[in-house]
Amino acid sequence: MCHQSVGLIARLLESAGISTLCMSSALDISRAVNPPRTAFLDYPLGHTAGKPGDPALQREIMLEALEAFTSLTAPGAVKMLPFRWSEDNSWQKTAMRGKDDRLPRLDTPQYQSEDDRSRAEEACAICPPRTS
């Protein structure tokens, strides 16, 4: 789930009396949605619980985050977790750069098989008849 929807769900659960904690690696989005309680980890998106293959670090991050239930008392408060992805912040430039490695778009539809093409064309009420 995305940071936005989780924050909104957390607010709804809190209004029903269920305590929540959002783990976040997108601070600006979390602050905009304003969940009741957030633990922020400055790691790349998709790594909110820690680095892959490092269960000891993941456990340490989770225990530190859960501490927010006692330390965060103001609604919308954010606990900044003290862990670092790497020695420097160069990973942030790469993560934010965004690389589009998709294939170029074509003017004609692409199908996985001839059967897919045939079925799509048969179901299309406005498609011109196939000439080749």
Q: Does the predicted TM-score (pTM) go above 0.75?
A: no
> Are 79 and 68 contacting, i.e. CB atoms less than 8 angstroms apart?
yes
* 73-115 tens-digit pLDDT: 998 999 999 999 988 888 777 665 666 666 777 888 788 889 9
Q: Report how far residue 33's alpha carbon sits from residue 52's, in angstroms, rounded to the nearest whole number.
A: 27
Q: Which of 80, 76, 57 is nearest to 67 (CA)?
A: 80
Give the integer Cα–Cα distance in Å for 108 and 112.
13
How many whole angstroms separate alpha carbon 67 and alpha carbon 71? 6
